[in-house]
Amino acid sequence: MATIRDGEKQSRYVLSGPPLTEAEVAGADLPLASYLVQKLAAHGDRVLQVVLGQEWRADWMLRQAAAELSALWRAVPGLREGDTVAVCVGRSALFAPALLAALCSGAVCAVVNAALPHESLHRVLHDLKPVAVLCQPQFDKSASDAKPADCPLQVLGSAESVADAQQLLMRSAQGLKADNTAPAVALLSSGTTGHPKIIRIPRRTLAPTVMFMPPNQWVSLARHCPEDRLRPALQQVRVCMTGGAALKAEAHAWIEARTGRPLTQWYGQTEAFPLCMVVSRQAPAPHGSVGRVSAGMQAKVLDLQTGKRLGPGVDGELCFKGWGFSEEYTDKEGWVHTGDVGHYDADGNFYVVDRVKELVKYRGVHVSPSELEAWLLGHPQVSEAVVVGLPHDEDQEHPAAFVVLAQGATVTPDELKQLVKEKACGSEEKLLHGGVFLVESIPRVASGKVSRGQLRRALLERVTGRA
């Protein structure tokens, strides 16, 4: 039976970020599209992005965005503010101009991974109900086959240039309604528990300027790029950030040592975009931490079994509340239950451990796949590693690893199992009882995150001969 003292503790275990400053409130109300055009114009011919070794400059982006906007108007003469435009791309410099063109038109830019299998791409494009689909040249056939029949297709990079590009973009942007709660982009959730959800992000949440890569790409960059090239290149980057997956303290420190730059872990929900954790106004977070609760936000950690609030140092489900969330994703009290497992320390720094549904349960003990993955990635011949649970009649689940090796690697599955055993220091539940399987690539879902469901099915087929 709960006591009064228990209730007092429960009421204390809610962490709040600082209040929003006047500057932050003003920033959230900036007219997004015209602000971006002005910023790009101010940079002139400075390098803005590097894609696959090629450099692209700010003035090129303005010209290309104006050409795409003009072509979009011709394809959809009745384009209205709030209509959805799907942009199907992979790694391409053409994405940024397409995004800017959509924002200046007032349309919601739906970002779609063009490399999705046909069935998934077809489902996403029909769920989005776009007024137009913009795609890279190499994906025009697949996008054409997957889009709704009455939806025009525009191939990026093929539009004719227009005169006075900056003025064209600015006139269009300034003609939009001054409503920063209106959606600017539509993103797809990870789809780890079903089909991906379409999540529309308001214009006001795009006011923070961040640039980041997921942890595996930082590891790959730091491992394979010569240090005498890596460090000078990164000195030109204002802020180095990572997100999308847990990054352990050891790997975090190693990346910073190799790059010579501080690396900030970003954490947030697609439903709220970058608003759960932003540490730019606070002291640097410890390695492995995603930082403290950002301004205007609240956080709590709930026990996975009882749902009670937990204090410092105890893992549970992370929950957040604040001005950036849409009501459709919250409970009746306004909290978003993230499905992520983690904790906070005595100073209020948060640490993300894993996803609730991704934890492996061995004989009643929760095992964090990300911890085992970090150990495997510490081997110089391992490029990618994903750990999932193999169902077992007596032990519930056995941890098993799918590993992508670097070119020319000679390490064996048994050697990798031994590596994990040494790191586990006697913890039986953390051993790779399910085995190590070498694969050429890791399957991913629409958002680019690992498709653990697909890996579990492949594991069952491989080990037991059943799906």
Same domain, 398 and 420: yes
- Asked whether residue 25 is assigned to any structural domain, the reply reads no
CB contact set of 316 (below 8 Å; sequence gap of 6+): 301, 302, 303, 304, 310, 341, 342, 343
351 and 365 housed in the same domain: no
Between the two ends of the chain, the Cα-to-Cα distance in Å is 45
Element (H, E) at 318: strand 316-322
Q: What is the pLDDT of residue 75?
A: 95
Q: Are residues 407 and 341 in the same domain?
A: no
Structural domain boundaries enclosing 399: 359-464
Domain count, the chain: 3
**Mean pLDDT value of segment 26-51:** 78
CA separation for the pair 128, 169 (Å, rounded): 25
pLDDT tens digits, one per residue of 335-371? 888 888 899 999 899 988 877 778 888 987 888 898 8
Element (H, E) at 93: none
pLDDT band (50, 70, 90) for residue 451: confident
Lowest mean pLDDT among 32-36, 135-139, 191-195, 445-449: 191-195
* 462 SS3 class: helix
**Is 456 domain-assigned?**
yes
Residue 196 included in any domain: no
Q: Considering the domain boundaries, does residue 54 fall inside one?
A: yes
Same domain flag for 318 and 384: no
In contact, 83 and 110? CB cutoff 8 Å: no
Measured N-to-C along each axis, helices 215-224 and 249-259 cross at an angle, to the nearest 10 degrees, of 40
Q: Which of 155-164, 235-244, 273-282, 455-464 has the lowest mean pLDDT?
A: 273-282
Using the 3D structure, point to which of 319, 336, 356 is the last residue of a domain.
356
Q: Give the pLDDT mean for 417-426.
A: 94
Q: Which amino acid is at 262?
A: P
∠ at Cα 65 (50, 150), nearest 5°?
115
Instruction: For residues 141 and 82, state if they share a domain.
Output: yes
> Which one of 126, 155, 179 terminates a domain?
179
* Domain-located, residue 61: yes
Report if residue 223 sits inside a domain. Answer: yes
Bridge partners of residue 201, in order along the sequence = 185
Backbone angles phi, psi at 241, to 5 degrees: -135, 155
> pLDDT class for 281, splitting at 50, 70, 90?
very low
Sheet with 263-265, strands from edge to edge, namely 212-213, 240-242, 263-265
- Residue 87: which of 186, 8, 216, 195 has the closest Cα? 186
Q: What pTM was estimated for this model as a whole?
A: 0.58
Cα dihedral 134/56/220/400 (nearest 10): -10
